[in-house]
Amino acid sequence: MSAQARVAVLGAGSWGTALASLLARHGVHTTLWGRDAAAMRGMAEQRLNVRYLPHSPLPESLHYSADLAASVAGADWLLVVTPSHAFRELIEKLATLPSRFHGIAWATKGFEPGTGRFLHELVEEILPGQPGAVVTGPSFAREVVDGLPTAVTVHSDNADFAQTVAEQLHGPTFRAYTGSDLLGAELGGAMKNVLAVATGVADGMQLGLNARAGLITRGLNEMLRLGVALGARAETLMGLAGLGDLVLTCTGDLSRNRRLGLALGRGTPLKQAVAEIGQVVESVQTVDEVMRLATRHEVELPIARHVQRVLHEEITPAEGLRLLLAREQKPEYPEPFPVQ
Ligand SMILES: NC(=O)C1=CN([C@@H]2O[C@H](COP(=O)(O)OP(=O)(O)OC[C@H]3O[C@@H](n4cnc5c(N)ncnc54)[C@H](OP(=O)(O)O)[C@@H]3O)[C@@H](O)[C@H]2O)C=CC1
Ligand SMILES: O=C(CO)COP(=O)(O)O
């Protein structure tokens, strides 16, 4: 019989806890690491993540730790699930540890704040030669931890590592597909958060279902145009990592990014809306990095640009809407359409 696989999940918020719980249920020896020692002790005692997933009991077999070196020691591979703003710091800490693992996966959605660099670029820079993979797709933590059916995708340059990660995540209610387009998969997961703010704003302003469908579709168009300019594959963005997550986050009220938009659309000030959500809302940082990439690659992204102006409080949601509707009439598709 082969030895039991060992994985360390790094980041004990809602998504890290849900993925760790899933791996433990699949028979993988899983340690969930979080930076707050008291919170990790509490989780071990109560078998519950009281702060982030208070209604979902965690499996008996899941291990908890606030000691990064001990969590990583002996792990076959790592799964990083911190917010994007903490990603570099954690990877740099991992680089100082003596432990050797077969690969590093991440389920974080976003870019390095301030540079627009992709997370796989940070891993390549800080841990050169290490196989890397992104786990992404339409997946609310609460539904995953409650065992509701979910499909995600695991993209890597290293097909063996993508397969290992996908096989261990895959289970009776969780389908994990594989792919080899790291850049496209990361871009889809990051951009959908910005577009979810736009549909949230429209719904918060009660603009109707036509507006929501229009924004999702034109948002997908923005994702495709930027993605293809950057070298992503169109099929990645038409799949779980792009369209799938876009639909989920633009329509599902479990989305923090959509809820931010809803609150802004109803007139709640940004600071108050973010504070009331009380969890990571990646779009607040991601929008600047998306626009940085768009400017660098000369791609026009009207929806993302107006979300940025609303999030910077340069314009109100109502002004954003007026400006978007006042744009010139034009063909639906650019020539040639990016999906070949
Ligand atoms: N929730 C979901 O459904 C999904 C989330 N994601 C992505 O997963 C990532 C994490 O989000 P999520 O788990 O939801 O966030 P949460 O808001 O639920 O939790 C954030 C977690 O990150 C921890 N954290 C913050 N800063 C640091 C740091 N510097 N070092 C280590 N840990 C830190 C927090 O610790 P503390 O409590 O001590 O502050 C907390 O445990 C995001 O990129 C998100 O987009 C992707 C798919 C689904
Ligand atoms: O990425 C997610 C679902 O796939 C979670 O979305 P939010 O971060 O908007 O809650």
Domains and their CATH numbers in the chain: 6-180 (3.40.50.720), 183-325 (1.10.1040.10)
Q: Is the CB of 153 under 6 A from ligand 2?
A: no
* Residue 137 contacts residue 245 (beta carbons within 8 Å): yes
124 CA distance to ligand 2 middle (Å): 25
Average pLDDT rounded to a whole number, residues 60-70:
98
Element (H, E) at 30: strand 29-33
- What are the residues facing 64 on neighbouring strands? 32
245: its two tokens: 């997550």
In this structure, the strands spanning 150-156 and 132-136 are antiparallel
Element (H, E) at 252: none
328: its two tokens: 């010139």
**What is the pLDDT at residue 200?**
98
Residues 6+ apart with CB under 8 A from 186: 109, 111, 118, 119, 120, 134, 136, 155
185: its two tokens: 């998969």
- Distance from C-alpha of 69 to C-alpha of 88, rounded to nearest angstrom: 17
Q: Is the CB of 140 under 6 A from ligand 2?
A: yes
The answer on whether 6 is annotated among ligand-binding residues is: no
Q: Is the CB of 276 under 6 A from ligand 1?
A: no
- Distance from C-alpha of 299 to C-alpha of 309, rounded to nearest angstrom: 17
Provide the percentage of residues in the chain whose pLDDT is more than 70. 98
Model pTM score:
0.97
Asked if residue 1 has pLDDT above 50, the reply is: no
Q: Is the CB of 12 under 6 A from ligand 1?
A: yes
The answer on whether 84 is annotated among ligand-binding residues is: no
CA nearest to 107, candidates 150, 56, 174, 154:
154
User: Ligand 1 pocket test: which of 36, 81, 143, 255 has the largest number of ligand atoms within 8 Å of its C-beta?
Assistant: 81
160 CA distance to ligand 2 middle (Å): 27
* Residue 10 contacts residue 68 (beta carbons within 8 Å): yes
Tens-place pLDDT, residues 99-149: 888 999 999 999 999 999 999 999 999 999 999 999 999 999 999 999 999
Binning pLDDT at 50, 70 and 90, where does residue 328 land?
very high
The answer on whether 15 is annotated among ligand-binding residues is: yes
Tens-place pLDDT, residues 143-202: 999 999 999 999 999 999 999 999 999 999 999 999 999 999 999 999 999 999 999 999
CA nearest to 43, candidates 87, 6, 77, 9:
9
* Residue 216 contacts residue 270 (beta carbons within 8 Å): no
Residues 6+ apart with CB under 8 A from 281: 193, 256, 257, 260, 274
Looking at this predicted complex, what is its ipTM? 0.99
249 CA distance to ligand 2 middle (Å): 6
Phi and psi of 16, rounded to 5°?
Answer: -60, -45
Phi and psi of 150, rounded to 5°?
Answer: -145, 145
Provide the percentage of residues in the chain whose pLDDT is more than 90. 95
> Is 271 assigned a catalytic role?
no
- Distance from C-alpha of 73 to C-alpha of 8, rounded to nearest angstrom: 9
CA torsion, ordered 104, 110, 111, 114, to nearest 10 deg: -140
Look up residue 209 and give its amino acid: L
**Given strand 132-136, what is the order of strands in its sheet?**
63-65, 29-33, 6-10, 77-80, 103-106, 132-136, 150-156, 174-179
User: Which DSSP category does 243 fall into?
Assistant: I
**Could you give the angle at which helices 317-325 and 182-204 cross, rounded to 10 degrees?**
110
**What is the pLDDT at residue 337?**
67
Q: Which residue puts its alpha carbon closest to atom 10 of ligand 2?
A: 255
- Distance from C-alpha of 120 to C-alpha of 134, rounded to nearest angstrom: 8
151: its two tokens: 């499909």
* Residue 282 contacts residue 257 (beta carbons within 8 Å): yes
- Distance from C-alpha of 317 to C-alpha of 211, rounded to nearest angstrom: 14
- What are the residues facing 105 on neighbouring strands? 79, 133
Residues 6+ apart with CB under 8 A from 23: 7, 9, 30, 79, 168, 169
